[in-house]
Amino acid sequence: MMLSDEELEALLLNGESDRVERKASASDRDKIRQAICAFANDLPGHGKTGVIFVGVNDDGSCSNLAISDDLLLLFSQMREQVQPFPTIRVSKRNLTGCDVAVVEVDPSEIPPVRFDGRTWIRVGPRRAVASPDEERQLIEKRRSRARPFDIQPVHGSVLEDLDLEFFRREYLNRAYAPDVIERNSRGVEQQLAALGFATPDGVPTNAGILVLGKAPKSWIGGAYIQFARFDGVTLSDPIKDQKELSGPLHEVLRYLDEILRLNISVALEVGQLASDVKHPDYPLGALQQLVRNAVLHRNFEGTNAPVRLYWFFDRIEIHNPGGPYGQVNLGNFGQPYLTDYRNPVLAEAMKVLGYVQKFGMGIAQARTELANNDNPPPEFQPETNFVLVTVRKRR
């Protein structure tokens, strides 16, 4: 819930602290992201909202910054580079006679939160990178907080159920800045816990099993993608090809890309200038965005259903066993920039592995690529417990 003007004015007038930061402008965007990260980590343990006031000088006077809608949109998108995603609220307020952009940041339920591969914290009125001991304190905070599915422990599993070699060789180097890894003496258990792949006690989480597990499906029943290609337009038509894509996340997504490439048909049109123009029946990028979106936002609780990719003669259907979540509902589903994360650690992993470039833009990008390829726009059927996406063949 947003703070009132009276609450914000009290914080603003009290100066910078471990809950308040002032900025005269938005010129140094990385420092604002660092501040978002630090307030989300809430190392002091206030359990209260941290606030960034943009448009205010260090002494609290007004910097007369023009607070436009584009500026507010910029701030709202800043959380995309902070992982796991914090909850923020952005608004324009008039405080003590000054127009100010207010960025409110709630404490994260699953710290530590990172920006640019570093865990930022608030130490009094200044920001700093967390030490190993401070990061350990943040990990311990998870014990007493409600946790999403992907951060919950998989009881009975042990660290040997994870591909620790891939974690050390590939994932760790992508998730953390090189200098942080070099000066950090943490063991693998703490590294896994810091990234949400294990509990502080060393038990793999659902995210750990999904991203690094040697056999994720043996622990999480719906952890696979079902692909089927039909020789017709109905489920009763003969099946030309079918596959089950299972394994750790990076292998499943790589295999999925191969299947999409193999099944897209490309027609050649010879132009008047003897140049060949390629016309795929579906643009690869659009299909990648829509299927990855289903993998990211699916619900694993209460169902063992997989993500299903059904390829018919005239269309492709993508079935996601997870309805709208959080601030996304049946009425606003598919609107640009509107997104929420049922599986925040899994979302972070997809970005670290390079399968997501910018959050909240997948559907918009798919729409653009389909239009550029002369395909009809994607059709969305969101329901309480699932989402069906239909992509029609190129005209």
- Mark out the alpha helices in 213-361 (DSSP H runs): 249-263, 284-297, 344-352
- So what's the pLDDT on residue 144? 45
CA torsion sign for 200, 205, 210, 213 is positive
**What is the enclosing helix (H) or strand (E) of 130?**
none
Q: Which residues pair with 268 in a beta bridge?
A: 278
Strand 266-270, strand 276-280: pairing: antiparallel
If we measure between CA atoms, which residue out of 310, 347, 308, 351 comes closest to residue 326? 347
If we measure between CA atoms, which residue out of 378, 382, 380 comes closest to residue 282? 378
What are the structure tokens assigned to 180, written together?
A: 């942080």
- So what's the pLDDT on residue 200? 87
The structure tokens 């699953």 sit at: 110
One-letter amino acid at 10 equals A
**CB-CB neighbours of 47 under 10 Å:** 10
CA–CA dist 11, 14 (Å, integer): 5
Over 244-257, what HEC string results?
A: EEECCHHHHHHHHH
- So what's the pLDDT on residue 135? 85
- So what's the pLDDT on residue 52? 95
CA–CA dist 125, 274 (Å, integer): 67
Strand order across the 88-95 sheet: 20-23, 50-54, 98-105, 88-95
5-126: CATH topology: 3.30.950
Boundaries of every domain in the chain: 5-126, 147-218, 224-392
- So what's the pLDDT on residue 30? 94
- So what's the pLDDT on residue 271? 58
If we measure between CA atoms, which residue out of 119, 55, 46 comes closest to residue 92? 55
The verdict on domain 224-392 having CATH code 3.30.930.10 is no
If we measure between CA atoms, which residue out of 337, 338, 297 comes closest to residue 318? 297
- So what's the pLDDT on residue 338? 65
CA–CA dist 99, 89 (Å, integer): 17
User: Directed axis angle between helix 344-352 and helix 284-297, to 10°?
Assistant: 150
Burial call 70-109: b when 16+ CB within 10 Å, e when fewer: ebbeebbebbbbbbbbbbbbbbebebeebebbbbbbbbbb
- 10-residue averages of pLDDT along the chain (395 residues): 89 86 93 95 89 92 94 88 88 94 91 91 88 83 68 93 95 86 79 92 95 96 96 96 96 96 81 64 96 92 93 97 79 70 89 79 88 95 91 92
- Under DSSP, the state recorded for 49 is -
- So what's the pLDDT on residue 201? 87
Rounded to two decimals, the pTM is: 0.72
